[in-house]
Amino acid sequence: MEEKMIGPGPYRATKLWNETIKLFRAGMPLRRHRMHFRSYDSCFTASEAADWLHELLRSNNNFGPEVTRTQTIQLLKKFLKNHVIQDIKGRWGTEDFEDNGQLYRFPPSSPLKPLPKHPQNTESTSIPRFPNWDDYEQRDMQENVPVKPIIVNSEMWNKRHSIAIGEVHECKLIRRREITPRHVEQIWKSMTLAHLQRVLGLKSLDGVLDAKHLNPKYIVHNVYNINKQGVVVLEDKSLKTEELPHWVLSAMKCLASWPNGSELRQPMYPGFERDVFRTVADYFQKLKEPLLTFQLYEMFVNILGVLQKPQVATEALQVCCLLLPPENRRKLQLLMRLMARILQNTKIPPLNNAIVTRTLMVQTFSRCILCSADEVDLDELLATKLVTFMMDHYEDILKVPNRLQKSVEEHLSQLQRVQIKYAGADADASFVSHSYCKQISKEEFEEQRANSTQAPMAELLEGIIKDTELSVKDKKKKLKQFQKSYPDIYKMRFPTAESEAALFPEKPKLKPQLMFFKLKKPFQPFQRTRSFRA
């Protein structure tokens, strides 16, 4: 059975669980074993299952080489608990699985977890969307997909093209309505979710994230309330109660600057650094909720589907971490910085004799960073993969995404600018919500483009023709400008020179009247007179 890459989408953890079971049942070698003077067909030992499944998980792109044998044993225990496997006597559920020669086999049918139906997310329809139309136009040009044009009325066309034909309607400047802090928070929330959906390439966030439970105040706080190092600052007294205790901060600073001093001011005995590390680990492991929260578990699991694209995964994690409560984001930032500094510090002694420091960091803190409230069967494997990636890219992940911040601030700035209101136009026309483009056939696109463009302009041309207040000279000037701007529409109205000439019929020219003058004397040519000196 070929490996199937599970990409982002609703209920990704359940899909991974079912896919792993299918691969295990289809590929695990079965043979005849002998135990207690009896032979059993189509079975395998616990150690054989651990060897084969461990290799499968390490080579699978959904999990990766970070999977340890210990984690594989834990997964096999969950397989036995959920009746994916059973012992040779048919027992499962309450039995324990150990890495030994105990015999196991597959039941006749393995229970796969059903995928829940997508809940109808009412929040998705109530959140206003602010799409970047430049991105949509660029995408459609690259894909060469015709897009249904927006039908506009003749009045809108008159205003848009008034300069081209020499008309400027009367207008006045009015200010936008005031944007309250609540409006700002909702705009941040809607644009953040839209940005996240676009980065992950999902058609909808339904089944992945419940938007109605997100607090937009968290996003605004995480963007603007930070120190010079980019770490969230908890200035609100209500958030101070969730701050890291002083003794935990002191222990973290001690390890981060090892061996340059300790705020604890205690003697440095052999193994002192291990005790300090254990103090930090105990605090985070006893948290009631993981730092990435139970609520956002499915969202972060979906990001695992794009880890093969580091830049996309980094940007997605940047956005998701903005959704965290400020106290969680601050603890996550300090913990990830500590983990990275311990790995970079060559002077700190090994913190465990049996495990390398990098593996120790991941195993110690993975479940206090990511796990589900329902104890999903693949929690440990998924958390290991995500924490490993975050540990390697923590500096970029825990930054505020520049593209998102720039888009939101530009949108807010645009809303606060003055607008031009034309006489007779609707003052709230600029607040009309945009509609998403709908894909149509190329023939329908060409037909609608022609109709939507030519009809208003033809009406505008008729308005110029029938305008009785314009002089003949001004009317000819405007028609000439219109012909230059829209030659096809002009030609449809005046297909021949005769039809154009009929608009301005020439008046009959008057013959010049002959004027007769009565001369008193006959005309005589000029004669040269003699000189008076003669």
What is the domain-level CATH number for residue 329? 1.10.555.10
- Does 280 share its domain with 396? yes
Alpha carbons 281 and 286: distance in angstroms, whole number? 9
The predicted pLDDT at position 258 comes to 86
Q: What are the Cα distances from residue 428, in Å, to 176, 323, 422?
A: 9, 32, 12
Does 306 reside within a domain? yes
- Does 201 share its domain with 83? no
Does 322 reside within a domain? yes
Q: Which of 84, 105, 126 is the last residue of a domain?
A: 105
- Does 93 share its domain with 189? no
What does pTM read for this prediction? 0.66
Find the helix or strand (DSSP H, E) in which 38 lies: strand 38-45
Alpha carbons 281 and 43: distance in angstroms, whole number? 41
The predicted pLDDT at position 368 comes to 94
Q: What are the Cα distances from residue 68, in Å, to 51, 96, 282, 360, 381?
A: 11, 19, 22, 11, 9
* Regions of the chain short of the pLDDT cut 70: 1-3, 117-177, 237-241, 261-267, 375-376, 418-443, 445-453, 506-534
What burial class does residue 500 get, using C-beta atoms within 10 Å of its C-beta: 0-12 exposed, 13-18 middle, 19+ buried?
Answer: middle
Cβ(110)–Cβ(24) under 8 Å? no
* pLDDT tens, residue by residue, 215-268: 999 999 999 999 999 999 987 766 666 789 999 999 999 898 888 755 545 557
* pLDDT tens, residue by residue, 464-475: 887 777 788 888
| DSSP H stretches of helix in 400-485 | 402-415, 442-465, 472-485
| The two structure tokens encoding residue 318 | 């940047």
The parent domain of residue 246 ranges over 183-409
- Does 95 share its domain with 234? no
Cβ(32)–Cβ(40) under 8 Å? yes
- Does 80 share its domain with 202? no
Structurally, how many domains does the chain consist of? 2
Find the helix or strand (DSSP H, E) in which 41 lies: strand 38-45
Dihedral sign, Cα of residue 202, residue 208, residue 213, residue 217 = negative
Alpha carbons 400 and 417: distance in angstroms, whole number? 26
| The two structure tokens encoding residue 234 | 């908890």
Cβ neighbours of 444 (radius 10 Å) = 11
Sheet order of strands, 86-87 included: 31-35, 38-45, 103-105, 86-87
List the beta bridge partners of residue 232.
226
Around 349, how many Cα atoms within 13 Å sit in the side-chain half-sphere?
12
Question: What φ, ψ does residue 420 adopt, rounded to 5°?
Answer: -100, 125
